[in-house]
Amino acid sequence: MKKSSLYLIAALSIFIMFACASKQNTGETLYDDEGEEDPFAEADAIYNEAMRVEAEGNSEEALSYYLGAVDEYEKIGVTDCENWGYAHYYIGLIYMEMEEHALSAEHFGKSYKILKKALGRDDPQVAQILTYKGVMEKDNGDIEEAMKSFTRALEIREKEDPPDENQIRILKMNISDIREGW
């Protein structure tokens, strides 16, 4: 694993997730609290199963569930569903563990596009995704894209109140590495 990956992994803060309430998939039409048909029910049930399986330590099985959830969210056709963005995020993390950097960067990129709409452009979680995306791009040799990801993540982190000095330091180290010809 490259130096930038170690910087990131060594000092990462906990990534806070806002998951939807767990729903059981019975094969029947699922409804929300108001009795309306819930178009997200199937996708959310798969997503929640992925999270459960991953919590048990089975990343490979969780990956297949996350990919299934992504497919279901794409069928719905929304562009700002948090769980859809987080599913891509967790797929990116699993691919990162598997050292599949191109696939990891691809899913972090998809997560970024979805969650910046769902959470807002300047949300700290968006910065976290950009940081991971930048590390994978850097490790893949896509230096220009990595610099864009790190720079944008740094802009977000510097606006936080209070700023996350640890994340700012990590981002500055990655940017410095790139400028020094990493």
What CATH number does the domain containing 40 carry?
A: 1.25.40.10
Please tell me the total count of domains within the chain. Answer: 1
CA 182 – CA 14 distance, rounded (Å):
27
Type of residue numbered 130? L
Beta carbons of 76 and 40 less than 8 angstroms apart: yes
Number of H helices, E strands in the chain: 8, 0
Quote the domain boundaries for residue 123.
3-179
List Cα–Cα distances, 145 to 76, 165, 171, 173, in angstroms: 30, 23, 14, 16
Q: Is the pLDDT of residue 28 over 80?
A: no
Could you tell me which residues are beta bridge partners of residue 31?
Answer: 37
Q: What is the pLDDT of residue 7?
A: 40
pTM for the structure as a whole:
0.78
pLDDT band, very low/low/confident/very high, at 123 (cuts 50, 70, 90): very high
Average pLDDT score over residue span 149-157:
97
Percent of the chain exceeding pLDDT 70 equals: 81
Phi-psi map region of 22: left, alpha, beta (phi>0 left; psi -120 to 50 alpha): beta
Nearest to 156, CA basis, from 118, 130, 117: 130
pLDDT band, very low/low/confident/very high, at 36 (cuts 50, 70, 90): confident
